[in-house]
Amino acid sequence: MSLYSFGIQPITCHAWNKDRTQIAISPNNDVVQIFEKAGNQWTKIHDLTEHNGLITGIDWAPKSNLIVTCAVDRNAYVWNLKDGVWKPTLVLLRINRAATCVKWSPLENKFAVGSGSQTISICYFEKENDWWLSKHIKKSIRSTILNLAWHPNNVLLAAGSCDFNCRIFSAYVKEIEDKPSATPWGTKMPFGELLFEKGESGGWVHSVCFSPSGQYLVWVSHDSTVTVADATKDKVVTQLKTEFLPFLSVIFVTENQLIAAGHDCCPYLLSYNTPGNIEVIGKIGTQKQSSRGNVSAMQHFRNLDKKATVENEDPAAATLHQNSISQLLIFEGEGSGVSKFSSAGIDGALVIWDTKP
pLDDT, tens digit (0-9, with 9 covering 90-100), for 137-155: 999 999 999 999 999 999 9
pLDDT at 199 over 90: no
CATH number of the domain residue 33 falls in: 2.130.10.10
Of residues 346 and 202, more confidently modeled: 346
Q: How far apart are CA 210 and CA 250, in angstroms?
A: 10
312 vs 26, more confident: 26
How much is the average pLDDT of 220-242? 93
The pLDDT of residue 316 is 47
Predicted confidence at residue 333, as pLDDT, reads 92
Q: CA 47 from chain center: how many Å? A: 22
Amino acid 123: pLDDT = 97
3-state secondary structure of 298: helix
Average pLDDT (246-265) is: 96
Q: What's the pLDDT tens digit per position in 177-195?
A: 999 999 999 999 999 999 9
- Write the CA distances from 175 to 110, 124, 155, 171, integer angstroms: 11, 9, 13, 12
Tell me the pLDDT tens digit for each residue of 280-327: 999 997 644 333 334 455 555 566 665 555 455 554 447 889 999 999
Segments forming the whole domain that contains residue 57: 2-354
Work out how many domains the chain is built from and give that number.
1
Residue 336 has pLDDT above 80, yes or no: yes
Rounded Cα gap, residues 145 and 156, in angstroms: 16
Q: What is the pLDDT of residues 102-132, one digit of tens each?
A: 999 999 999 999 999 999 999 999 988 888 9
